[in-house]
Structure 1
Amino acid sequence: MGLSSLGAYQMAQRLGLAEIQATGLHRLDLYAASLEREIGKYAFLPGTLELQAEVLDLLAHPAGQKPPNKVNAYLEQLNDRAGTLAIYVINPQGLVLATSNWRRADSYLGENLSFRPYFRDAVAQGSGRFFGIGTTRGEPGYYLASTLVDARGTQGIAVIKVSLDQLEQSWTTVEAPVLVSDENGVVILGSVPDWKFTTLRTLDEATAKAFDQTQQYNRRALKPLGLRELRELDHGARLVSIAKERPEMVSVYPVAGRFLAQSRALPGTPWTLTVLSHLEQVDEIAQSHALIALIGAALLFVLGLMLNERRRHLKDRLAAREALQAAHDELERKVEQRTADLWASNHRLQAEVTERTRTEANLRAAQDELVQAGKLAAIGQLSTGIAHELNQPLTALRTLSGNSLRFLERGDLATTRTNLERMAQLADRMGRITGQLRSFAHKSPVASRPVPLDQAVANALAVLEGRIAESQAVIQCPASSPCPVALCDGNRLEQVLINLIGNALDAVHAPERPRIDIRCSQQADRVQVQVRDHGPGLAEAVRAHLFEPFFTTKEAGVGLGLGLALSAGIVREFQGSLSGANHPEGGAVFTLELPRAPDEPSDTMSPPHD
């Protein structure tokens, strides 16, 4: 349908353009003949003046010696009978000696017109033709100049100024606009009054200065017509457009839009006659043909669809009848087969349900064992560190006890007392270490109570004191004022903090000066603990599996990958959350959020275990 419409549109446009082009050529012939006829009526007048002896006698005598009134009266009478604008005689120096308008105040008499192009052409070639605007009255006209010659040679120049307004007036009733442009591209005649003294092309600076010297257009502002060429056609025709830059005057034809322009040079003049045929009617006819082609193609398409649909409908009915019979036969066979298969499937389903129940029970048992193994592994790691810590105080106790016996035998009671005090301090330290291990291993009931975060962090750091000293890590934990208080179980919170701080210690083992930042804060109804290490951070693939059981980035045998999974489960029991991300300044940061406890003071949190 689209191709049919486009083809019809283009074909109608080509035929319409060809018809308009033929009509335009005929109009060109008519307009050119009328213009040549109008100018030809006056072409003989300048030459007739040399037949008058009074005119030649006036030119032969110096100015002022012979009164020109008789010649002026003759030129005045000739101008009235010929219907011209003015007739005047110029001497070879360009001075007007006699004129038909000698009685008027703005008479040409005595003016020097040697600068006018028609005067220079007549002196050089014997005749001259020129269209311009008069410098005295500002009246546009066509000038015909011819030399006046006798036996003595050229005596002067006769000039006839003709008005073409009557021709322009007759053009306003034609069917298509027409214009005449001079050698400068300036419209000097036209069927549209607004087009007169506009330019068909942009004037350069040199041409504008030349106009000021010759005063051809009497310094009138020459504005562009706004004619733009779209493309070339055959036989010199062109597609052009004229912009609507001013309100359109009342006219029998459009004066803006797209036109077919056809031009012809006028013989004997540097002028160009151009006929503009508007394309509105061609476009409307082309659109009508395109619409008719579109509707016809649509009707054929719909008819084809109906015939094809009818054929498919008959074919489908026959196929459906055959398929219905085949389906009936197949259905009876399948009913018998399905009935037999149903009993067998029922027995298999019962067996699968039983097997799945057994498998789920085994999986739950295995998961419980793995969680317990993770707890034992964590306790084992803590026990290894604590055993290392206890070994040093025991060695010191043995050494101090032996020294104390020797100092006691010598009677040095002061040194003995000092050794005993140091032994007591070492015993207190060992008690705190074993107390933390016992507290961590103790499975407290799931009961929430107010827990100061600063005290829970201090207890966790006390458990990990040996690992912190061994790694030489710097722990930055500024005190919070007021101290945030969480609503949870204190022992389980310490288990989570020990796991997070332990992971941070593993992440910062490589730097020369490892550092861990711990910050506690509170909001409206939540408290928060952030544990940040200054290690390499978390890879994108690691972040997606942080809290999955058995996922670990540590070496084989170092961890089971259950620490974060267990910690996240503990936090969820208290309506909290645990998340991990990369800090903008580097390293990983784990954020622990818990419900905030009421503001009542509470001393229920036990101090570090001794």
Structure 2
Amino acid sequence: MTRLRQALRGAGPMAAVLGVAVALVLGAGEWAARSELDNQWDNLRRSGEVQALALRGVATRYSYLPFTAAQQPLIATLLHNPRAELLRSAANAYLETVNANAGSDTLYVMDTSGLTVASSNWNTPASFVHQNYHNRPYFRDAMQGQSGRFYGVGKTTGEPGLFASAPVVENGKVVGVVAVKVRMQPIVDTWTQLRDPIFVTDARGIVFLGSVPAWLYKTTRPVPGQAVRQVQFDEQYGPQWTPQPVPWKTQPQQDPPGGEITLAPSGKRYLALEEPLPDLGWTLTLTADSRAVAAAQQQAWALASLASGLLVLGALYWQLRERRLQENRQARIELEQRVQERTHALQQAHAFRQSMEDSLLVGMRARDLEGRIVYVNAAMCEMVGYTAAELIGCLPPYPYWHPDDLERHWSDVDTVQAGKASPQGRENRLRHRNGSDVYTMFYTARLIDGHGQHIGWMSSVVDITAQKRAEELQQQREAQLQRVQRVITVGEMASTLAHELNQPLAALVNYAAAARAVSVQAQPQLLQDTLAALSAQALRAADIVGRIRHWVRQQPASREPCDLNATVEQSLSLLLRAEARRHGVPVRLALAAEPVRVSADRVLLEQVVLNLGLNALQAMQSQQPPAPGRELLLRTATEAGRASLQVLDRGPGLPPEIAERLFEPFFTTRSDGLGLGLNICRSIVESMGGELLARNRDGGGAVFEIRLPSLASSP
């Protein structure tokens, strides 16, 4: 009956342990699946930004070619005399040369009926000459006096590509069209090397570019009949194209950012993230295999099951141990009487040994064969901040192990237990109880008892923190000097580059002016207009280079009327909005209803706003945990003849010791910073007659404010 009652008493705790084990397994699987899913979405977002940038680069790289060729007088002359063989040959040679230098696929000219009169591939079997492209949208757009862009399968070559066009205008009338074809196969080749599919759809939902050839020209959603007829008329995806659905089904996620597609008939599932490209009229879709989420969940279940098993075994061991303790309690009472007889003698020996140990400056630590600490002296306790009672009996990991070096500490334990401890010692970083770092040298040897048996290890520990701090301080000073030298070198390189580039640009302006004078004497109006445009572009380039030289040489900046509202929008479009999205921080604008006009260097002012915005995002990112309601707020206003632009965040704010030195050169709170950003920003604003101020924000966070003299608004 006694054993039965003991079993019943033990059943309650064991049931609780089993319940905790089951909950641990289920919770671990759910947590692992959610964590892996969030990781997959983050990877898709970052990859989407990179791929979207690459697509935009390829799509816009050659858009200038049709416009440039349309300005060539030879093209307009050919369009007026399409049967003149000499003109056609000259135009073909010109287009071939421009196309070869630019690296595009084909550059060609069409008359108002869509008939190609000259082409860069005039001497190839797939020549565009005498081919008619009147049904192509890019031709129709150019005939309306607009630039055109169109992706489709070539009517002549059968190879897909991106077509861009520009009108040839003479006396306000469109007399022809210049178009360029660009192959996008190189970017597709890079996609085929990726593990998961990636594809692009047009505005109608038709896949026209992707890493899986079998999906090309299939529809992701129903296409209206009128749109189908338009695509067939344009021969966008070949003369035989008919709408066919893609081989997958799309299921939206309960918690976006994306959805999930299931391939038929394999049933393979992918996470799918759509990245709209509104400026191109396309949608980029990136995918990730859903099996990674399931694999992470299964691994978590396996690990949690193992941990639960260990928990149950531990509970069983605890029950057995309690039973053993109860049985041995009586025996211990008898043993204690014997121990008391020898205590006095041992106390005398211990007092002598303790006095000797307390006089040592080197820390001493002894461990048994299991790694349990069995002895520490006073020097060791002072070194780590723990008492001997707190350390003796501890098994690895020890409380003074540094959390950043756990793998190294475990490796040292394995090395010592394998009998491979280095006689030259081992450097280790420990964590003092007060949170400070302690650098030490450990020298470990075998611990042998009186019978010659190996019973553990004895380590002597030398504190080298002061020496280590001195070495780190010296390294920091050397690194700072190197950074300063790099900044000076960059300034000198920028000044030299600006000087060297300005000379050829000035020569280009002089040559253009001389050519204009010659054309005036000969009365060729068209040549004069062309060279005038060339001169204007060269002057613009020289102005940009001059801006760089002025800033590097600290000369007064050139100013122009500009709008602070437009400056905010441009900074957002450059980088700020993308960075805010990457950090998960919403951006809110509170811009003045009317334009806030100031006299400033627009490019440098945009750079100041961009720098302040990035600093605000980094400040909010460094705050752990994140502040509630964190946001990046940009606000403009005009008051009493002064215009202001404020950048507000919900970060940790500006402590007094930081606020006093905020704008000092080379002062920074970031380990990877130069400490020059805010100093340069203030110098730029002051060069424009303004001031840059910083203060703490009500409710938490910081405010950086640019103040400039306001210009009167135009009527």
Q: TM-score range by the shorter chain?
A: 0.3 to 0.5
TM-score by length of 2: 0.39
| TM-score (ref. length: structure 1) | 0.46
Relative contact order: is structure 1 or structure 2 higher (C-alpha 8 Å, sep ≥ 6)? Answer: 1
Greater gyration radius? 1
